[in-house]
Structure 1
Amino acid sequence: MSDTVHDTSSPGGEAAVLRRLSTLDRFLPVWIGVAMLVGLLLGRGVDGLDDAFAAVTVGSVSLPIAIGLLVMMYPVLAKVRYDELGHVSADRRLLGTSILLNWVLGPALMFALAWLMLPDLPEYRTGLIIVGLARCIAMVLIWNDLACGDREAAATLVAVNAVFQILAFAVLGYFYLQVLPGWLGLDQAALDVSMWEIAKSVLIFLGIPLLAGWLTRTVGERARGREWYESTFVPRIGPAALYGLLFTIVLLFALQGDTITSQPLDVARIALPLLAYFLLMWGGAMLLTRALGFDYERATAVSFTAAGNNFELAIAVAIGVFGVASGQALAGVVGPLIEVPVLVGLVYVSLWARRFFTGTEPTGSLTSRA
């Protein structure tokens, strides 16, 4: 790969990309901060919110949160050019790198960080290990799109993660909570979760929006053509992804607002290994893909896929196995508290780092980019 450095002040640089973002995209960190604050205030100020949200569930997740997640994912998956996925899936180096990062290095790193930073807090430690095992199949598509990564590559890697999640989550949970601690002379924990429960979560939160996105593109292109679909229809549905994201964040923080604000020191202890994990996984993935000669778009897709986690699954498993008031569940909830602002920040770092990669110049935004 060439060492060409792109001029960030030029029309093709990341500064120009940021200027072309919609108001919704450009101030996303502000909107997310407001959503977190609203959620925390809502959780502290409204009694019985937990019971109301738990009255109707979808795959162990409350119906309002499930709706938010589906609304968040649909527009991104409706933008994917499904006829180009074959080229991505044929790239064995891309798939191999992602599998290595997601299913070998990621869980091992979280295990190490949890034990190094939380040796005296077994419940939180177990919760973090569960978070490390739940690889991202949702929000990573948002971060990748904001960073102008390869949308088809991200969709393919998310699909690979979904398959591995169904097949490997329970096995890796047994290994990292019982087998490996036993080998190392550490305390052991148990994780009793069925493959069907994991598959159900994946099918609901990835399968439904994936099918809807594919049908939308297929029917839309056949009826009006690709140019109309990508220049007219996609910009219309684009904002729904961020609205769904903000709605989901409000609900998540509302559900745990009292716990988060009443246990700030515990939240801080949990946050430290999570912060280290996200930074190390994303930074390490970007360096690795750069060294392997990936272009910026695919490096970005691999890096955000490696850094993100499926907090919906992690929270559902923690609640189902250990209870809603458990330390394991709190660790799962703190996951998005740290992941969302950190990965939003890394979107901007990623756009800056684009100068160190060669390849096509990405432009646009989550709400308008086709």
Structure 2
Amino acid sequence: MTSTQERGGVAVAGKLSTLDRFLPVWIGAAMLAGLLAGRWFPGLGPVLNAVQLDGISLPIALGLLVMMYPVLAKVRYDRLETVTGDKRLMVSSLVLNWLIGPALMFALAWIFLPDLPEYRTGLIIVGLARCIAMVIIWNDLACGDREAAAVLVALNSVFQVVAFAGLGWFYLSVLPGWLGLPTVGLEASPWQIAKSVLIFLGIPLVAGYLTRRFGERAKGRDWYESRFLPRIGPLALYGLLFTIVLLFALQGEQITAHPVDVARIALPLLAYFAVMWAGSFALGKVIGLSYERSATLSFTAAGNNFELAIAVAIATFGVTSGQALAGVVGPLIEVPVLVALVYVSLAARRWFAGPQPAPGGKPAR
């Protein structure tokens, strides 16, 4: 996208690609297509799950990797030190992701689902799994800081390996016991979590870094950013739409057969996404972060690592369990909500100094 497009306001919208301009339409169509496919072809689920990568259907895993690669190839890795030196951003992200986020999901799960222990446990697991995948897409669409997103996602990955099992033990076994509530055990080894991180973040991150390093070395930065990146950029949204279709197809029959259960799971999730995103975005403004870094802070705080949450729920409670269903409903609610929040974020850009970007545009630096 040219600098004129970055500054052009209404003119930008007219110059966006068809894919970008009608993104909510394509996502809605992908969700509907997946639901219909799952409902009309009940044998589709076993086919998609026939081959798995770390407990996730291989086609979905491939969709996630394709989705993340172009965005990570856009990151200017030589600028990461400007992010790691921003203590306001780093500390805020750690507090939001590893103190406030899990505690909020625990509270909402018990408030909204006191009589449904399986769904409640599944939601708590979702709250413990901090986002390392789709947040890359939401941040890019909202014109957040790509370098900051790469650093915060990597930071979340390290804490996920170190802290996930301990936090699961605390929120499912210790804290409920202190409050006189029923307790639950959780099986989640550090190696299982590390595998999820290495696959769903490590592979596209290494691929993106090597692509930029060797692309710039061979042709220069100008060619890389003006010629190469525009060619691979659409792959991110194609991968996103492909992943959404498959996610909804896998659970289409179960979702349409249990609409009341899905609605009850959706309510605390909606509250969670709204509170985490709005609170984080406002915090960024209050502590003096730029729009780009405030957007990155809010999306990394609001998103969750559904790949890990689903894998842990299945490994501990079984593929047909209510905990697994709650894990699956997570991304089904997260996708449309965070897409909507992309546009809310762009509209809130006026609170900050500088030009307003268009969805998917290159953030001002």
Alignment of 1:61-72 (within 5 A): 61-72=56-67
CA RMSD for the aligned pairs? 1.7
Superposition deviation, residue 319 in structure 1? 1.0
Paired with 2:346 and 2:192, the residues of 1 have a C-alpha distance of: 37
Paired residues in the alignment total: 360
Paired with 2:115 and 2:11, the residues of 1 have a C-alpha distance of: 48
Paired with 1:192 and 1:161, the residues of 2 have a C-alpha distance of: 20
Superposition deviation, residue 365 in structure 1? 5.1
Superposition deviation, residue 193 in structure 1? 1.1
Paired with 1:19 and 1:302, the residues of 2 have a C-alpha distance of: 29
Does 2:152 correspond to 1:157?
yes
Paired with 2:16 and 2:263, the residues of 1 have a C-alpha distance of: 33
Alignment of 1:207-286 (within 5 A): 207-286=202-281
Does 2:360 correspond to 1:366?
yes
Equivalent in 303, 315, 321 of residue 320 of structure 1: 315
**Could you report, residue by residue, the CA deviation over 1:235-292 in whole angstroms, capped at 9, with x for unpaired residues?**
0000000000010111111110110000000000000000000000000001111110
Q: Structure 2 vs 1, CA of residues 18 and 245 (structure 1 numbering), >3 Å: closer, same or farther?
A: same
Alignment of 1:24-103 (within 5 A): 24-103=19-98
**Could you report, residue by residue, the CA deviation over 1:5-59 in whole angstroms, capped at 9, with x for unpaired residues?**
xxxxx98476555444321112111111111111111111223222222221111
Partner of 2:285: 290
Given that 2:126 and 2:330 are in contact with CA atoms closer than 8 Å, whether structure 1 keeps it comes out as yes
Alignment of 1:300-319 (within 5 A): 300-319=295-314
Equivalent in 173, 177, 184 of residue 178 of structure 1: 173
Partner of 1:144: 139
Q: Structure 2 vs 1, CA of residues 58 and 11 (structure 1 numbering), >3 Å: closer, same or farther?
A: closer
Paired with 1:92 and 1:309, the residues of 2 have a C-alpha distance of: 23
Partner amino acid for 2:37? Answer: L
Paired with 1:24 and 1:286, the residues of 2 have a C-alpha distance of: 27
Paired with 1:250 and 1:20, the residues of 2 have a C-alpha distance of: 27
Partner amino acid for 1:234? Answer: L
**Could you report, residue by residue, the CA deviation over 1:326-348 in whole angstroms, capped at 9, with x for unpaired residues?**
10011111111110011000111
Superposition deviation, residue 361 in structure 1? 3.0
Gaps of 5+ in 2: none
Paired with 2:97 and 2:180, the residues of 1 have a C-alpha distance of: 26
Partner amino acid for 1:283? Answer: A
Given that 1:278 and 1:342 are in contact with CA atoms closer than 8 Å, whether structure 2 keeps it comes out as yes
Partner of 1:3: none
Given that 1:25 and 1:366 are in contact with CA atoms closer than 8 Å, whether structure 2 keeps it comes out as yes
Partner amino acid for 1:366? Answer: G
TM-score normalised over the length of structure 1:
0.94
TM-score normalised over the length of structure 2:
0.95
Q: Structure 2 vs 1, CA of residues 176 and 15 (structure 1 numbering), >3 Å: closer, same or farther?
A: farther
Partner of 1:6: none
Gaps of 5+ in 1: 1-9
Paired with 2:241 and 2:62, the residues of 1 have a C-alpha distance of: 12
Given that 1:238 and 1:367 are in contact with CA atoms closer than 8 Å, whether structure 2 keeps it comes out as no
Answer with 36-45 or 97-106: which moved more.
36-45
